[in-house]
């Protein structure tokens, strides 16, 4: 079992806060540099002719992205690698997630998967997909039999 020695000097409040912060640095994953599963923010737009999907993927290499698409769903997945700025530092706050991510988004209309075009600039992935024409509804006449 590990113990934390607390020694109070001149300013009790500052020393107490520093001791509490040190405890949280030891036990809280918020203050650790760890890999996690995360979900980037996504916007979906619909025009009369197409669906546009935008994903906030700052800091991700486009070669680490994977996009799958069918008529009603798009899946965006990939990996954000850890950014190591300086060695031998203690994190006071670590909010930028890294590691594997995946988003499955149900599209508002059926799309032509073959028409999809993706671009990636300034940390934003944009996928444009043409909509399929609305299916024509046919009425079926019911015949009477004797």
Q: Would you say 90 and 73 are in contact if contact means Cβ atoms under 8 Å apart?
A: no
What confidence score (pLDDT) does residue 47 get?
94
pLDDT tens digits for 93-107? Answer: 777 888 889 999 999
CB burial of 44-83 (b: ≥16 within 10 Å; e: otherwise) equals: eeeeeebbebebebeebeeeebeeebeeeebebebebeee
Q: Cβ–Cβ contacts within 10 Å for residue 25, how many?
A: 14
* Residue among 80, 77, 78, 69 nearest 128 (CA): 69
Q: What is the pLDDT of residue 22?
A: 64
The answer to whether 132 and 111 have CB atoms below 8 angstroms apart is yes
The mean pLDDT value for 41-54 works out to 96
What pLDDT, on a 0 to 100 scale, did the predictor assign at position 43?
Answer: 97
Query: Which one has a higher pLDDT value, 125 or 88?
Result: 125
The pLDDT, as a whole number, for residue 44 is: 97
CA distance 121 to 8: 52
Looking at the predicted structure, is the pLDDT value of residue 51 above 90?
Answer: yes
Tell me the C-alpha distance between 99 and 120, whole Å: 19
What is the model's pTM? 0.67
Least confident of 21-25, 55-59, 69-73: 21-25
Contact 4, 19 (CB under 8 A): yes
């Amino acid at each position: 079992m590990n113990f934390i020695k607390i020694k109070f000097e001149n300013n009790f409040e500052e020393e107490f806060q520093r001791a509490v912060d040190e405890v949280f640095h030891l036990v809280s994953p918020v203050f650790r540099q760890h890999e996690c599963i995360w979900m980037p923010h996504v916007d979906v737009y619909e025009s009369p002719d197409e669906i546009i999907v935008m994903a906030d993927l700052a800091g991700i290499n486009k070669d680490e992205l994977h996009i799958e698409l069918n008529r009603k769903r798009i899946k965006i997945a990939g990996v954000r690698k850890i950014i190591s700025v300086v060695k031998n530092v203690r994190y006071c706050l670590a909010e930028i997630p890294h590691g594997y991510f995946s988003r499955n988004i149900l599209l508002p209309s059926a799309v032509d998967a073959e028409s999809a075009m993706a671009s990636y600039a300034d940390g934003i992935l944009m996928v444009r997909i043409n909509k399929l024409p609305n299916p024509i509804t046919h009425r079926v006449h019911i015949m009477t039999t004797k």
